Amino acid sequence: MAPRRTGLVIVLTGDGKGKTTAAFGQALRAAGAGLRVAIVQFIKGAWQTGEVRALRRTGLPIEVVRSGRGFTIERLRDPRIPMSEHEAAAQAGLVRARELVSGGAADLVVLDEIFGAVTAGLIGEADVLALLEARRPETHLVLTGRAAPEAVVARADLVSEVRLVKHPYVRGVRAQRGIEF
């Protein structure tokens, strides 16, 4: 009989760039090892990012759920999209995340920018903690975003903090396709 896998809770947080990139790399590694992988992206809108395009090109059976309506930060938010739509999208993502972590359809689940959804008030910290409780013991869970709640960090098996040291945005260099998205 094969040994049972021990699912890990992995938190990628901090103010630096690279959390989503690291999570997608983990998803690729897991899929390459034959694990069933699903990614739920909070906050991010309908635009196709480079990482999602690349996943589609691989042909790997990785489910990607976009459960955001775009930026929620006031200076970046599209004023034509009411906050109620952002909230509804995040709640739909939360429902799918709960199905994935508790149902056994995925061996590794990435919840990208879930902490951003908490910070924006779209979902609650209690919702994230409930996902941790609902997770099957053999399911790996990767959670990303700035400002991971301490209660989540305390329950995680692995926490990496990505720290901003220097970023070209400060010099006025705008986000570039293939680097930031």
Phi, psi of 149 (to 5 degrees): -60, 140
| Mean pLDDT in residue range 97-102 | 98
Which of 52, 54, 20, 5 has its CA nearest to residue 160?
20
Residue 1 CB: number of other CB atoms within 10 A?
3
Q: Within 17-107, where are the H helices?
A: 19-32, 50-58, 83-103
**15 close to 164: Cβ distance less than 8 angstroms:** yes
Architecture category of domain 9-171 in CATH: 3-Layer(aba) Sandwich (3.40)
**pLDDT per residue as tens digits for the range 147-165:** 999 999 999 999 999 999 9
Write out pLDDT tens, residues 109-125: 999 999 999 998 999 99
Give CA 37 to chain center in angstroms. 13
Please state, for a pLDDT cut of 70, what percent of the chain lies above it: 92
pTM to 2 decimals? 0.90
